Amino acid sequence: MPIKKHKATDSNYLEFVEWEAKPHHLMSDDEPKSYDEIAKKLGVVRKTLYDWRKIEGHWDRVTKSYNKYHKSKLLDVRDALYNRANGVTVETRDKKGELIYKELPPDPKAIELYLKYEDKWREKMDTEISGTITINADEAVKEVLKAKEALNAIASVKK
């Protein structure tokens, strides 16, 4: 049975919602990875976390937070893809450890992916053709009869 009363402004609860929404494999090393760790960080017992999960609207809040998180990451990915499609200068280090700048040329695959993302690229084109096609049925029948005779000849040789 869901718990009805809840303060949506409770900072510990809201932090827990954010924690549940964020993919744990993307968390930094200093972020809690388990229910025990998040409970300790928030200063609550583990049972409180399970009670919070029963709050009416909890999973809607988690979903909203999850979508917001991924939308922001998608923008970062789109920007990186755009830069790679156009060519980019990157900082790197040489074998001696000295900072160097390397020019990466535009990447055709990144261009294709970016154009697909922007809905400006299609693998297949839809084409509509109108008009009349005329087929010479006499010639088609003659070809079919020739093929049948050839098959019959092959069949009689095998017997």
Checking if the pLDDT of 1 tops 50, the result is: no
- Mean pLDDT, the chain, rounded, equals 84
* Tokens coding 61: 């809040």
* Tokens coding 134: 């005329």
Residue 85: in which H helix or E strand, if any?
Answer: helix 58-86
Query: What does the alpha-carbon distance between residue 32 and residue 59 come to, in Å, rounded to a whole number?
Result: 20
The pTM of this model reads 0.50
Beta bridge partners of 145: none
Query: What does the alpha-carbon distance between residue 157 and residue 152 come to, in Å, rounded to a whole number?
Result: 9
At residue 4 the predicted structure's pLDDT band, cuts being 50, 70 and 90, is very low
Task: Give per-residue pLDDT as tens, 59-99.
Answer: 999 999 999 888 888 888 888 888 888 898 989 999 999 99
Task: Give per-residue pLDDT as tens, 106-151.
Answer: 998 888 888 887 777 777 767 788 888 777 777 777 888 888 888 8
Topology, domain 11-117: Arc Repressor Mutant, subunit A (1.10.10)
Q: Where are the alpha helices (DSSP H) in 22-136?
A: 35-42, 46-53, 58-86, 108-117
Query: What does the alpha-carbon distance between residue 19 and residue 27 come to, in Å, rounded to a whole number?
Result: 9
The predicted pLDDT at position 9 comes to 56
Give the alpha-carbon dihedral of 110, 116, 120, 122, to 10 degrees.
110
